[in-house]
Structure 1
Amino acid sequence: MSVGKLSKYILGGVVFVVASYATFLLWITWPISSLTIGQAGVFGDSFGIVTSMFSGLAFAGMIITILLQREELGLQREELRETRLEIAEQKKIFKIQNFNESFYRLLDFHKRNLSELSVYSDEKSERLKGIDALSFLLGRLKKSYSSYGFQGFKDTTEDEKIEMSYALFVEVQTTLVRQSRYLETITSIFTLIDTQLEKQSEKEVYLDLFASQLTVYELKYIFYQCLVSTPEDSLREYVHNASLYSDRGQDIGVSNTHRDIYKFIHKIEIPRSKSKFHVPFDRKKIRNIKKKNRIRKETHNKASQKDAA
Structure 2
Amino acid sequence: MLRYAARRALAAVPLLAAISFLAFLLNQLAPIEPAVAVLHAQGVPQATEELIAAKRTELGLDRPLPIRYAEWLLSALKLDFGQSYVTGQPVLALLGPALLHTLQLAAVSFAVIVLLSIGLGVFCALREGTRLDQGTRAAAFFLTALPPYLLAAGLVWLLSVKLDLLPTSGLGGPASFVLPAAVLAAGYAGVYFRVIRSSMIAGRHDDSILYGRACGLPERTLTLRMLVQSLRLTVPIFAMAVPILLGSTVVVENVFAWPGLGTMSVKAILSRDYPVIQAFVLLLASAFVLFNAAADIVGAMLDPRLRKEL
TM-score by length of 2: 0.22
Q: Is the radius of gyration larger for structure 1 or structure 2?
A: 1
Question: Could you say which structure has the greater relative contact order, defined with CA pairs below 8 angstroms and 6 or more residues apart?
Answer: 2
TM-score by length of 1: 0.22
